[in-house]
Amino acid sequence: MRTRAGGRGGDERGSVTAELAIGFPVVVLALVAALGVVAAGSAQLRCADAARAGARLAALGQAGDVVSSAQRLAGEGASVTVADDGSWTTVTVRRAVPGVGWLGGLDASASASARVEP
């Protein structure tokens, strides 16, 4: 068998193509998964910020602005629930995570409580 200078014996033509055919889908899948994690984290932070802002507004007695402000901060399609027991107000914000429909119905949610101001 003949060998090329500095090379191994045998015919290796097409091995790079085969390795790329196997490796490329794995890289794409890892990238899509990473982007899904980033989208979920971003949605969770937006829900937490919206719940905090809503609880602050509710505690200050601005109950009419709570839902609209929280929905604006959380993003499109967010649902806002306000619970008031007299001395504490709890705002819960929930929204679907955008762009990860292939994972199933992934939701982000957060709650925040604040003591009602006199």
Question: Could you report the per-residue pLDDT of 66-112, keeping only the tens digit for each?
Answer: 999 999 999 888 999 999 888 999 999 999 887 766 656 788 999 99
Among 98, 48, 50, residue whose Cα is nearest residue 72? 50
Q: In this predicted model, what pLDDT tens digit does every residue of 21-69 receive, in sequence order? A: 888 888 998 898 888 888 889 999 999 999 999 999 999 988 888 999 9
Rounded to 10 degrees, the C-alpha dihedral 77/113/83/44 comes to 20
pTM: 0.74
Q: Which residues contact 67 (CB under 8 A, 6 or more apart)?
A: 54, 80, 82
- What are the domain boundaries of the chain? 16-115
pLDDT for 102: 61
